[in-house]
Structure 1
Amino acid sequence: MNLNDLKIFEAVAASGSFTKAAEVMCTVQSNVTARIKTLEEELEAQLFTRTSRKVSLTTAGHAFIQYARKISNTIEEAKREIKNSDQIGGNLCIGCIETTLVFKAPEILSGFMNAYPHVQLEFKSDTRSKLIDDVLNYKLDAAFVSAPIHSAQLEQIHIKQDELVIVTSLDERSVNQILRKDNLNIVVFDQGCVYRARLETLLNARGVIQYKSMVMNSIEGIINFVEAGLGITLLPLELIEKYYGGRKLKTFKLSKEINTISTSLIYLKSIPKSQALESFIGMYATGNKKAIPF
């Protein structure tokens, strides 16, 4: 087994095809087939289920790809560390939800790049569950997600706690009146959004099961629809006050049982951390006077 074997294995897993993997690896299909067969013989396990249309990972394949990614990640980090041993450099990919990307990422990026100019920092937004999966599968170095997170594989640093509020147009008088509407609309992100999930939980707890979800793909879309009176939403109070204070919006406070949400920075316990990741994590360590605001 060598590093190239692992790269071929990952290419087949990613493409679902020996032919496509051969193209990616700039080799011939027969070589890909031979290397996978050698891996399977060495591991004494079948890594792929083969059909006429596609190949897919077996249970053993799913287990092995975690190790393959870990090994590849560690080697790449080692190369970057050695190449830039006199300075902190490399690449970091940080995950976050849409609202964090729009409102917090620029400040985080600016603060971190000022301190560590040789690190290439990029952000990816997605749903909470996808961000957690991507950290676990080595696709993200770290991610800002809502807490708590129940995984023995992840470290967590508490970042902050936000107050959540119902957001409506100026025409609404009370939450009770809103929830009694026969044609209630909620304006939300797609399934997987933590704010949407919290709002739906609130509605269910109040016995509201008849409502229409109007799905937006941006925070601006949500705000515009709510301001126009087309529905209600649930968002952090700080976000509304800081960025939308001049808009025709009204906020309603919630009970203490459901009115807060905590954000944590998560990252894997099991792999050696690069100097770049250590530096990013350090920005949020307790007591760090140079911490980046969030």
Structure 2
Amino acid sequence: MTRYHADFPAVGLRLSPGSTADIGAQLLEGTLDGAFIAGPVPHSRWYTVDAFHGSLVLATDKPLQALPSADELFELLFRAFAPGCHYRHRVESLFDHLGLYGGRIFEFGSNEGILGCVAAAMGYALLPKTVVEAQRSGFAVYFFDLPSDVGHVVTRFAAMCRAGWSPALVAFERSVRCAGFESALPAASA
């Protein structure tokens, strides 16, 4: 985005955080031209391009040598965003994978709130590794790397079909594509 803004300083970018579900609804309503969406893209009508590949980690209040057992995880309260967030969906999928029906999730609206609770030994969280690493100076948190089948996450740039795109949106999509994120990764879907 830095390069795009430098190349097109007259174009105003509005960045609005939100859950995958909320952002997807705004794309469908036409109130957003494009969005970064974590996880699978829920609509085949969307044009997508892989933008970032990252890892989710288990954020904890103490160092772990191994992933806690299903019984240990069942006793913990997980901190996550509201339903509709891909990362919360990953917590729910982890519960399902381990046969943990009725796993407890307490909702927060910010990474800082989630990490503050984790640091206070009030539960665990699944968050992007980059977020946990960036916040470690402000929170006494640790993380455990998850297996790639659980932890790998793809964030995609998504927009409605290319017909009718503004020149600014065409240039933005090109800047995402040319940023090099795709070079070592699967090809983008069309």
Give the structure-1-normalised TM-score.
0.56
Distance 2:130 2:15 in 1: 22
The one of 228, 243, 256 equivalent to 2:120 is: 228
Q: What corresponds to 1:176 in structure 2?
A: 68
Contact preservation (8 Å) 2:79, 2:108:
yes
What's the CA shift for 1:230?
Answer: 0.3
Higher share of residues assigned helix? 1
What's the CA shift for 1:178?
Answer: 7.4
Contact preservation (8 Å) 1:171, 1:229:
no
Q: What corresponds to 1:162 in structure 2?
A: 54
Query: Displaced runs of 4+ in structure 1, greater than 6 A?
Result: none
> Where do residues 36-47 of structure 1 align in structure 2 (5 Å cutoff)?
none
Distance 2:79 2:6 in 1: 37
Q: What one-letter code is carried by the residue in structure 1 that aligns with 2:97? A: A
Structure 1's unaligned 5+ residue stretches are: 1-107, 289-294
Shift in CA distance, 114/262, structure 1 to aligned 2, threshold 3 Å: same
Q: Tell me which moved more, 209-218 or 139-148.
A: 209-218
**3-state SS of 1:129 partner:** helix
Deviations 1:49-75 (A, max 9, x none): xxxxxxxxxxxxxxxxxxxxxxxxxxx
Q: What corresponds to 1:254 in structure 2?
A: 146
Q: What corresponds to 1:117 in structure 2?
A: 9
Distance 1:152 1:174 in 2: 38
Shift in CA distance, 116/201, structure 1 to aligned 2, threshold 3 Å: same
1:134 has 2:26 as partner: yes
CA-atom RMSD in angstroms: 2.4
Task: Point out the structure with max Rg over C-alpha.
Answer: 1
Contact preservation (8 Å) 2:39, 2:86:
no
Contact preservation (8 Å) 1:166, 1:232:
yes
**3-state SS of 2:169 partner:** helix
Distance 1:113 1:287 in 2: 13
Contact preservation (8 Å) 1:128, 1:145:
yes
Q: What corresponds to 2:136 in structure 1?
A: 245
1:153 has 2:45 as partner: yes
Higher relative contact order (CA 8 A, sep 6+): 2
Give the structure-2-normalised TM-score.
0.83
What's the CA shift for 1:252?
Answer: 1.4
Contact preservation (8 Å) 2:53, 2:152:
yes
Distance 1:271 1:133 in 2: 19
What's the CA shift for 1:272?
Answer: 1.2
Q: What corresponds to 1:192 in structure 2?
A: 84
